[in-house]
Amino acid sequence: MKTLNQTLSAALVPHHAAAQPQAPSASWPRLLGSSVRAAVLVMVVSGIAYPLLTTGVAQALFPQAANGSLVERQGQIVGSALIGQQFTGAQYFHGRPSVTMAPDPQQDGASIPAPYNAGLSGASNQGVTHQDLSAAVAQRVAQYRADNGLAADAAVPVDAVTASASGLDPHISLANALLQLPRVAQARQLPPERVQVLMEQATAPRSLGVLGEPRVHVLQLNLALDALQSSHQPGKE
């Protein structure tokens, strides 16, 4: 007499064998074809249609921002409203320090300082206790006071002696701009009041009225100063 286990095994084995049908010979070609069609569809939608749609909408609604917020003067691109530039002359307002780097053309794998290098945005990543950062800030403080004719113990705005996280900040604080104003006015032989008017025109308020602080756009202000002096050159009205 068969045991219960033998009876169950005999009943289950044929059923188990029948539950595993042989794969049709054409399954791999069908799988490959569906994979290729799916890849092409994803490529067309996400790689062609979607970028074209978003580009078209951006160009139609926000063309200035979509093209990089470029600043033009007399038909030439002189910069971007989003990226600062290095100004060193006494007749210009100076931007926030930048510690961006660039590859050293003289030595493979090495880097050299390149302020406001938009192709390699970044900060020094040095902490507040880092000796090199302390020395750099102290040197910037001394230089800032000397450039702007300030007393040896005069307070210096923090944005005048520290770099931003991106190294590309196009703005400075109002306090920073006001301390530079006498130097710029003297170098350009302009009344301080006239320079202040241009500074106020280049000042952006707090975002949404509450976020951040008022800030002065350095490139916009310096371009306005150049345009003002150019319009008052001899022979021009």
Q: CB burial class (10 A; 0-12, 13-18, 19+) of residue 203?
A: middle
pLDDT, position 237 = 39
How much is the pLDDT for 33? 86
- Tell me how far apart the alpha carbons of residues 216 and 214 are, in angstroms, rounded to a whole number: 7
Residues of the chain falling short of pLDDT 50:
8, 15-17, 235-237
Residue the block writes with tokens 């910037």: 140
Q: What share of the chain is helix, strand, coil (3-state, %, to 5)?
A: 50, 10, 40
User: What does the pLDDT read at residue 100?
Assistant: 94
Q: Give the pLDDT confidence score for residue 125 in this predicted structure.
A: 87
H helices of 100-191, in order, are: 131-147, 174-188
Integer Cα distance of 144 and 175 in angstroms: 13
The answer to whether the beta carbons of residues 118 and 83 sit under 8 Å apart is yes
pLDDT at 62: 84
Query: Residue 15 CB: number of other CB atoms within 10 A?
Result: 8
Q: What is the pLDDT of residue 67?
A: 84
Q: How far is CA 194 from the centre of its chain?
A: 32
Residue-level pLDDT at 56: 87
